[in-house]
Amino acid sequence: MAYQLHYWPTIQGRGEFVRLALEAAGADYVDVARLPASQGGGESALGRRLGDPDNPRAAFAPPFLIDGDIVVGQTAAILLYLGPKLGLAGIGESDGLCTHQLQLTIADAVAEAHDTHHPISTGDYYEDQRDAAVQRARAFREARIPKFLSWFEQVLQRNPSGDLHLVGDVLTYADLSLFQLVDGLQYAFPKAAARALAATPSVVKLHANIRRRQRVHDYLQSPRRIAFNEDGIFRRYVELDG
Amino acid sequence: MAYQLHYWPTIQGRGEFVRLALEAAGADYVDVARLPASQGGGESALGRRLGDPDNPRAAFAPPFLIDGDIVVGQTAAILLYLGPKLGLAGIGESDGLCTHQLQLTIADAVAEAHDTHHPISTGDYYEDQRDAAVQRARAFREARIPKFLSWFEQVLQRNPSGDLHLVGDVLTYADLSLFQLVDGLQYAFPKAAARALAATPSVVKLHANIRRRQRVHDYLQSPRRIAFNEDGIFRRYVELDG
């Protein structure tokens, strides 16, 4: 049975970290909400599933994954589940745990990137919180982007197996997620990301290596890869970069 | 060997979720930074360990846990590791995954609670971002606290094993963490938390049940439980409640 991924059909968002893992592993999956409505796709069907009163384990928010009897929400928990099945969780307990720790730190960076355009309320429009967004984005650009990226650089540099991967010498979901974080920062904050990445050559190399992996390359060229846009987490607002 | 927990010695913070799991299980652990400096305690020793260039897996931030060869950071990853060892991860893969998913949703709520007093920059003082904090706290009180608590209420109500636990009919680290989230909200937002909790009776019952468990009760009465204070995540600023 194909994995069923349930996520907003028009953005990369948090679902993209799951899509990338499934694509990089060549897994059989259905991106359910992107199907035509006649086949169960669309945002309203997604909303109905999320609110399904018969599902005792409905997730707090998309993404969630269905695999037979397993229903699991929260991006990092989905990757925790998929990781060993897709061969993307490193080798052994210690590396699996390290991979997950890295994923959670990437998730923290992603949440902070989101809050640059929604520093006051996720329920209000960006335009109604732009002044605070400008302030928060400045702190994110000047302090947080360099701090996160230099920490990932350190992890790569200190990897006893070399700086090609975050954990050991195999591809993990953390590598794929770091690719996506860097991709998103380059989209949303082209100037600030370029400055920070100039000091993190191993992160730059990892990003380039992931991009040229055959399955990832094919995915990124395909219509399955949704373009970055201003409904997602990484948004390009010129006033937030600098 | 006792587990070594490394976390800021003067706040509950994110370390408290780990402390509660260790205490509720009666585990042998050392809260290293709370030892006297002569025994390796104190904030500066914590900072040195975090920055240790010989540690290939130094965490991004406290808390981190050391257990023999295992060094793991990120609160939820620490609990993922400790859960099965402490008997706090539910029974079977599906329940373990569900427990972790719940922990990650609690972590999201905790991060949002933190950002009510630091909506612009974690590097600046609260007083320098109070205006934005007042706005963000209003959205958190009016939309987010009710949304999170009502979701946890739903999880409890829909649990086929009854509403005494979030997962199955055994204590998990998610139960303990929900206790801590509720405790923190009651401290920081006494009025708003009371309003939201009036609609979530099963959450209120879980909080009370956890509090009266013998080991948790003993811990909360002991000097090992640091009091809530305005250096932590949950801060009582009268202008942020209402």
CATH code of the domain in which B122 resides: 1.20.1050.10
Map chain B to HEC letters. Answer: CCEEEECCCCCCCCHHHHHHHHHHCCCCEEEHHHCCHHHCCCHHHHHHHHCCCCCCCCCCCCCEEEECCEEEECHHHHHHHHHHHHCCCCCCHHHHHHHHHHHHHHHHHHHHHHHHHCCCCCCCCHHHHHHHHHHHHHHHHHHHHHHHHHHHHHHHHHCCCCCCCCCCCCCCHHHHHHHHHHHHHHHHCHHHHHHHHCCCHHHHHHHHHHHHCHHHHHHHHCCCCCCCCCCCCCCCCHHHCC
Q: How far apart are CA B64 and CA A24, in angstroms?
A: 31
Contact criterion met (CB below 8 Å) for B161 and B169: yes
Are residues A193 and A116 both part of a single domain?
yes
Q: Do residue A101 and residue B77 have CB atoms under 8 angstroms apart? A: yes
What b/e readout covers A31-70, taking b as 16+ CB neighbours within 10 angstroms? bbbbeeeeebbbeebbeebbeeeeeebbbbbbbbbbbeee
Residue A226 confidence class, pLDDT cut points 50, 70, 90: very high
State residue B57's pLDDT score.
86
Give me the amino acid identity at A142: E
> Diameter of chain B by CA atoms?
51
Number of independent structural domains in chain A: 2
Partner-chain residue, chosen from B74, B111, B121, that has the shortest CB–CB distance to A136? B121
Q: Which of residues 125-184 of A touch B (CB under 8 A)?
A: 129, 132, 135-136, 139, 143, 148, 151, 154-155, 158-160
Structural tokens at position B60: 């991004």
Average pLDDT over all residues of chain A: 97
- DSSP, collapsed to helix, strand or coil, labels residue A121 as coil
Chain A contacts of B100, Cβ < 8 Å? 74, 77, 80
Chain B residue with CA closest to A50: the answer is: B151
pLDDT of residue A16: 98
Of A31, A59, A86, which marks where a domain is finished?
Answer: A86
Under 8 Å between Cβ of B241 and B141: yes
Tell me, what's the pLDDT at B28?
Answer: 98
Sheet harboring A64-67: ordered strands across? A29-31, A3-6, A64-67, A70-73
Going by C-alpha positions, the residue among B183, B198, B174 that lies closest to residue B234 is B183
pLDDT of A55 > 90? The answer is: no
Distance from the Cα of B158 to chain A's closest Cα (Å) equals 5
Q: Which residues of A touch B55 (CB under 8 A)?
A: 158
Considering chain B, what is the average pLDDT of its residues?
97
- On whether both B45 and B102 belong to a single domain, the answer is no
Residue B219's domain comprises: 93-240
Do A97 and A169 sit in the same domain of this protein? yes
Distance from C-alpha of A51 to C-alpha of A60, rounded to nearest angstrom: 9
What's the ipTM?
0.98
Put simply, the answer to whether B58 touches A154 (Cβ < 8 Å) is yes
Using DSSP's 3-state secondary structure scheme, residue A53 falls into: coil
CB contact under 8 A, B105 and A132: no
The predicted structure's pLDDT at residue B55: 86
- Domain boundary pick from A33, A60, A86: A86
Residue A156 CB partners (closer than 8 Å, separation 6+): A163, A165, A166, A202, A203, A206
* Pairing mode of beta strands A3-6, A64-67: antiparallel
Residues of B in contact with A92 (CB under 8 A): none
CA-based nearest residue in chain B for residue A55:
B158
| Predicted pLDDT at A25 | 98
Does the pLDDT value for residue A117 go beyond 90? yes
pLDDT of residue A57 exceeding 90: no
Predicted local confidence at residue B102, as pLDDT: 98
- For the segment B49-78, the average pLDDT, to the nearest whole number, is 93
Contact B104 A57 (CB under 8 A): no
Taking the Cβ of residue A90 and every Cβ of chain B, the question of whether any pair is shorter than 8 Å is answered with: no
Q: Examine the domain organization and report whether B17 and B99 are in the same domain.
A: no
If you measure CA to CA, which chain B residue comes closest to A80?
Answer: B97
- Percent of chain A past pLDDT 70, that is, above it, reads 100
Of A209-213, B57-61, B113-117, B176-180, minimum mean pLDDT range: B57-61
- Give the nearest partner residue to B121 out of A101, A124, A139, using CB atoms: A139
For residue A94, the chain B residue with the least C-alpha distance is B70
**Whole-angstrom Cα distance, residue B30 to residue B19?**
10
Q: What percentage of chain B exceeds 90 in pLDDT?
A: 95
- pLDDT tens digits for A126-180? 999 999 999 999 999 999 999 999 999 999 999 999 999 999 999 999 999 999 9
B223 preceded by cis ω (within 30°)? Answer: no
Cβ of residue B72 closer than 8 Å to a chain A Cβ: yes
Question: Which chain A residues have a beta carbon less than 8 Å from that of B108?
Answer: 60, 111
Is A139 within 8 Å of B159 when comparing Cβ atoms? no
Asked if A33 and A71 sit in the same domain, the reply is yes
- Residue of chain B whose alpha carbon sits nearest to that of A67: B94
CATH number, domain containing residue B74: 3.40.30.10
Q: Are B120 and A104 a contacting pair at CB < 8 A?
A: no
Phi, psi (degrees; rounded to nearest 5) at B207: -60, -45
User: What's residue B1's pLDDT?
Assistant: 84
pLDDT at B3: 98
- By CA distance, what is A148's nearest residue in B? B60
| pLDDT attached to residue B86 | 98
Based on the fold, state whether residues B115 and B68 are members of the same structural domain: no
User: Do A32 and A78 belong to one domain?
Assistant: yes
Which of A61, A86, A111 terminates a domain? The answer is A86
Residue (of B94, B88, B113) closest to B174 by Cα position: B88
How close, in Å, is residue A226 to chain B by CA atoms? 25
Tens digits of residue pLDDT in A169-218:
999 999 999 999 999 999 999 999 999 999 999 999 999 999 999 999 99
Mean pLDDT of A49-60: 88
Q: Are residues A220 and A142 in the same domain?
A: yes
Q: What is residue A54's predicted lDDT score, i.e. its pLDDT?
A: 85
The C-alpha atoms of residue B10 and residue A46 are separated, in whole angstroms, by 44
* Rounded Cα gap, residues B17 and B100, in angstroms: 13
Structure token pair of residue B45: 């020793």
Neighbours of B40 (CB within 10 A): 16
* B74 touches A: beta carbon within 8 Å: yes
pLDDT of residue A230: 97
Chain B residue nearest residue A115, CA to CA: B119
Beta bridge partners of A29: A3
Same structural domain for residues A125 and A233? yes
- Do the chains contact at A101 and B58, CB–CB below 8 Å? no
Residue type, A83: G
Cα B236 to chain centroid distance, Å, stands at 17
- A57 half-sphere exposure, CB direction, 13 A CA radius: 22
Min Cα separation A122/chain B (Å): 8
Looking at the predicted structure, is the pLDDT value of residue B53 above 90?
Answer: no
| pLDDT tier at B75, thresholds 50, 70, 90 | very high
**Predicted local distance difference test score (pLDDT) of residue A56:** 83
The answer to whether the Cβ–Cβ distance between B98 and A57 falls below 8 Å is yes
A94 touches B: beta carbon within 8 Å: yes
Compute and round to an integer the Cα radius of gyration of chain A. Answer: 18
Sign of CA dihedral A182, A174, B90, B177: negative
For residue A162, count CB atoms less than 10 angstroms from its CB and return exposed for 0-12, middle for 13-18, buried for 19 or more: exposed
- Cα separation, B30 vs B24, in Å, equals 15
Residues A220 and A139 occupy one common structural domain: yes
Instruction: Give pLDDT tens digits for B131-178.
Output: 999 999 999 999 999 999 999 999 999 999 999 999 999 999 999 999
Task: Tell how strand A64-67 and strand A70-73 pair up.
Answer: antiparallel
The pLDDT tens digits of the residues spanning A78-98 come to 999 999 999 999 999 999 999
**B85 contacts in A (CB within 8 Å)?**
none
CB atoms under 10 Å from CB of B23, counted, come to: 21
Q: Report d(CA B201, CA B163) in Å as an integer.
A: 10
Do B133 and B228 fall within a single domain? yes
pLDDT confidence of residue A53: 86
The model's confidence at residue B56, banded by pLDDT at 50, 70 and 90, is confident
* A135 to B135: CB separation less than 8 angstroms, yes or no: no
Residue of A116, A110, A122 whose CA lies nearest to A136: A116
- Residue A170's pLDDT is 98
Same domain, B33 and B63: yes
pLDDT at residue B54 is higher than 90:
no
CA distance A49 to chain B (A): 15
Residue of A97, A135, A159 with shortest CB distance to B72:
A97
Residue B51 is predicted with a pLDDT of: 86
Segment B199-209, tens digit of pLDDT? 999 999 999 99
